[in-house]
Structure formats: structure tokens, C-alpha cells
Structure 1
Amino acid sequence: MSEEPGFFDGVFLSQDSEVSSFVEEVRGAVKSTAGRAMCGESQWAAARETSKQANKLDEEGVEIAVCRHGFLLKGLNMYRGEIFAYPMFLQKEFQDAVFLSMDVTCRYVPYLEKVSEVLTHLQPLQKIRHCLSVMHAKAHNTKCEILWNARNQEGAGTTLGEEVEQVNSFLSRCALTTKYMSKSVRTDMLTVHAIGWNQRKENGLHIALSSRFKKTVENTLDATESLKKIPGPVALQ
């Protein structure tokens, strides 16, 4: 007997059938390299092109997309651990985005290029600019940090790219109870929590933006004064 879908099926968490179909399409199009990738001294669990066989019974976690202001946009259930096909699915859902920040950008971008060469309908995803989240960039090698750090990307402003970590901290509390729920009830519960999170973010957005703007202006003035102290032709007049 199949379980009835939840009231919010497909609203926040993408339907498993759509995600699974996309993952199999990607896996069938390119030959993946097994194992975890290294960057600097760090081994990244999320930097995997493939993984063990999917667990059809239990979800291994949730992959989510969050905007730079911390609003939850979309999520999906993971059955293969953290593989590149999952963020690629979410990226496909938001092709109008300007930047995509991840903790393994240096490994994800080459994989995206490899996949889009075969699956040409994914080539528009390469138009989105990529960057490393500021905190995670510290764990990459120096060359990678300089090249991909969000702080070094023109147009990224003061975006941290760590907004997902804030939401993960919030949603992780749900695991204490949702792991005992049926799939449909779990979907509804996570969706309700996501709606509540976004509502609180919206209610406090004017305060957050005002504070961020004030801090940015102050940092700009400090940086300008520092540049004026530099001798030579680069000094500002």
C-alpha cells in the first residue's frame, strides 16, 4: 500500500521522482570519478561526483538552496549522500541567479562543465558566476581561495555565502522528531518550518538590510582612508 503524498508535496522539497530522474540522467551522461576530492589539506565530503548505491528507504539528509538574505528557496531529499548532481538540480531551478556560492566550488565547476558538454540543455548553468563561501574558503589552498573567494568576486559585495549554514543549524533541530515520522508528514513538517523561517526573515528584513548597509558604508570609508595613506600613484586624491 503506497503512502499518500503530503499536503505540501513538491512545495519546498522537490519531488523525489524528479530529483532521481535528473540524477540518473547526469550519471548516465558522464563517467564519474569515485572518491572524495582534496583541496589543500582538506578532504571534502561534499566534493563527490558519485557515491554508493542509493538508499531507497531512508533519506540521508536534505540539500537546500538559500538566497543571500537567508530565505529558504528550495530543497530536496538526498539518498546518495552529498554528490554534485544534487546542487546541480537546484541550480537548474534558479537559472536567473547571478552567483552560486558553495563550499566546494573549485571541484563543482569543472564537473558542471563536463556534464554540460554532454547534456547541452544544462549549458545555461555555466552563465551563473561561482564563488566559495567565505568561511569554507579558508580551508582551501591559497590559490583556490584567491580565485574563488566570494570577497574577491566583483559584484558579490559583502555576501558571505554561508547563509545555508545558518538554515542548517535551524532545520537540524527537526531531525529529533522527523526521523520518527512517515515520509509525507516529514515533508509537511519541514515545509511548515521553512515557511515559518521565511516569515521571521521577512519581518526582520528591514532591520537586517539597514544594519548591513550602515556597516558597509563604514567599511567603505575605512578602506578609502587606508588607501589614501598608500604612497605613490595609487593614492586617492
Structure 2
Amino acid sequence: MNRRGFLAAAAVSPAAPLARAAALGRQMKITGLETDLLQFPPARRYYDAIHEFGAGSGGVVLRLLTDAGITGWAYSSFGTIAGGPRVVQTILEQEVKPVIIGQDPAFPRRIRARLWQALEYHGVTGVAQFAMAAADIAVWDILGKALGVPVYKLLGACRERMPVYSMCGWYYGDDADLSEYKRSIVAAFEQGYRAVKIKVGRGSIQDDERRIRLALDLAGEQRRVMVDANQ
């Protein structure tokens, strides 16, 4: 389908693609929710101003099954907090599942409103939001597959190009001479990145200055350096 044909069918309205989903022949229903817990092996540890990474983390793979034979997939994690992915999995299995089974995925906003109401007592930020986000993504995945179009087309306007940067300038264990820090920035520029973000705030002001000056020297005049001190 070309752009004009799609927009005519979609009527440029967020609700119109959902009407097309209903026109597939009958109302679709979510019939099952399945999860898999992933555990990533520990890697070399690295740090920002206040957090430690690389000690081992994980995530949850979510599958929403439908009576139309379409499966919506999503992935969610909860950073590096120990046990976070298992908490997300528990919320999906124990709290989200009873609400979402039997719902029509053609109405993602209605589903999210019902999940919001069901999870309000647990708090709708933090780990509960990670579970709701996974359900939301999986519902939209079902819609995209039902219509045979990428989800970004259902959501509306998009960019075909955008600037990106590499988050590379972490603290790397025993790196007093900043050699590993330097290698990470050089590697990013060699990969074609035009901008990098570096971490500061873990040591002294003088250490921050040294890290920033080195990054600026490596970037030269044609590249950008962003600085992140976290909290």
C-alpha cells in the first residue's frame, strides 16, 4: 500500500486504523498472557555518578495471544535493580493478566485506562509502569500485525532520519589514567557517531574537568560532547 492509499484508509485518525482492525472479519479478543524471565550474565562493571552496572541484570519477554492467531510481543526490564525483572513479571502475571484477558486489542487506550485503574493502588510509576508499558507495546504489536503495517504508521507522524549519540564515557573500574575512557570515545567516533555523552560527578571537580577536557580534545570542532552528572 502506498502512502496515499494508507492515509485514505486510515483517514489520518488514530481511531481509523482500529476500525480497519475490526473490519478483519470479527472482533478480536486477547486470550492469553505468557512471560519469560531473562537473566543476563554478569559483564565487566562500569559506573555513573551514583549507579553500578554490569553486575548482571535481566528483563521480561511478554506475549499476548489472541483468538485470531496473532501474538503481540514486548520486552521490558527494570534497569539493574536486583529482582526488578521478576517483580515486573509478577505484576504482568498476577495483576495485568486478569484485566487484559478478554479485551479487544483494537482499543489500546481503553485497555491502558483499565490497567491504570487496576494498578493504581500499587502505584502507577516505577516498576508498575514498566509492566503496563510492556502490555501497551504488545497490544500495538497485535494491531500492526493485524493490519500488515509497522506500528509507527499507526501512531502517526515519524522521522526517517534523526541525530544520534553514543553513551560511552562511563567510569570503568581502575581507570585512573582514563585510557579505557578514551578508548570508548574514540571507538564511538570511529563508528560514525557525531556526538557522545560522558559521565561526570563520581569524583572531584578536578576529575570532572579532566574528563571533559579529554572528551573535547577527542571530539575536535566537528563533533559534540554532552555531559551527564545524573543526580
Could you say whether these structures have the same fold, taking a TM-score greater than 0.5 normalized by the shorter chain as the test? no
| TM-score bracket for this pair, using the shorter chain length | under 0.3
Instruction: Give the structure with the higher percent helix.
Output: 1
Of Structure 1 and Structure 2, the greater strand share is in 2
Please give the TM-score of this superposition, normalised by the length of structure 1.
0.21
Q: TM-score, normalised to structure 2's length?
A: 0.22
Which of the two has higher C-alpha Rg? 2
